[in-house]
């Protein structure tokens, strides 16, 4: 079975989106969304990190994160998957309601149904890497193993 997600308005799987309003504490700071955390880590240790952290909406945070007049950290490509793993796991550990939704997907394949992103989603041709879906499935396994023992 395959579960497609993208918009935060899709019930019940909108919570899989990084734009979903499920904040968490990580690295001693409060993050409004996992998108805020992810985008801010592109500039960790600089004033730009805080600018992204306090962005009004996740879309604003994403737009800041995509700017290239801000100095992107040199190791970003090497660490971005781990940054996303940390954000997603913390989000689902923090919120029991969405943790149950993720666990309820059992063994379904989770797919970010975006046409424009071939790395985090499946892209318009359906042959994208779907890293966000993969990370959600990894997170589901971590949470499942924690709930067992």
Per-residue pLDDT 10s for the chain (149 aa) are: 999 999 999 999 999 999 999 999 999 999 999 999 999 999 999 999 999 999 999 999 999 999 989 899 999 999 999 999 999 999 999 999 999 999 999 999 999 999 999 999 999 999 999 999 999 999 999 999 988 76
Within-domain flag for 92: yes
79 falls within a domain: yes
Taking CA atoms, 121 is separated from 21, 27, 31, 45, 128, in Å, by 20, 27, 23, 28, 6
Please report whether residue 25 resides in a domain.
no
Residue at 103 is within a domain: yes
pLDDT of residue 149: 67
Q: Tell me which residue of 15, 50, 20 sits closest to 35, measured CA to CA.
A: 20
Count: domains in the chain: 1
Residue where the block lists tokens 């079975």:
1
């Amino acid at each position: 079975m395959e579960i497609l997600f993208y918009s935060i308005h899709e019930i019940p799987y909108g919570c899989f989106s990084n734009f979903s309003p499920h904040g968490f504490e990580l690295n001693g700071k409060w993050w409004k969304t996992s998108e805020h955390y992810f985008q801010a880590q592109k500039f960790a240790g600089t004033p730009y990190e805080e600018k992204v952290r306090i962005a009004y909406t996740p879309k604003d945070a994403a737009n800041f994160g995509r700017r290239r007049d801000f100095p992107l950290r040199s190791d970003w490509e090497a660490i971005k998957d781990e940054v996303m793993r940390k954000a997603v796991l913390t989000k689902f550990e923090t919120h029991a309601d969405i943790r149950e939704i993720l666990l309820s997907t059992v063994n379904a394949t989770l797919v970010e149904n975006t046409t424009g992103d071939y790395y985090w989603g499946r892209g318009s041709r359906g042959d994208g890497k779907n890293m966000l879906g993969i990370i959600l499935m990894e997170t589901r396994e971590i949470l499942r193993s924690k709930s067992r023992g």
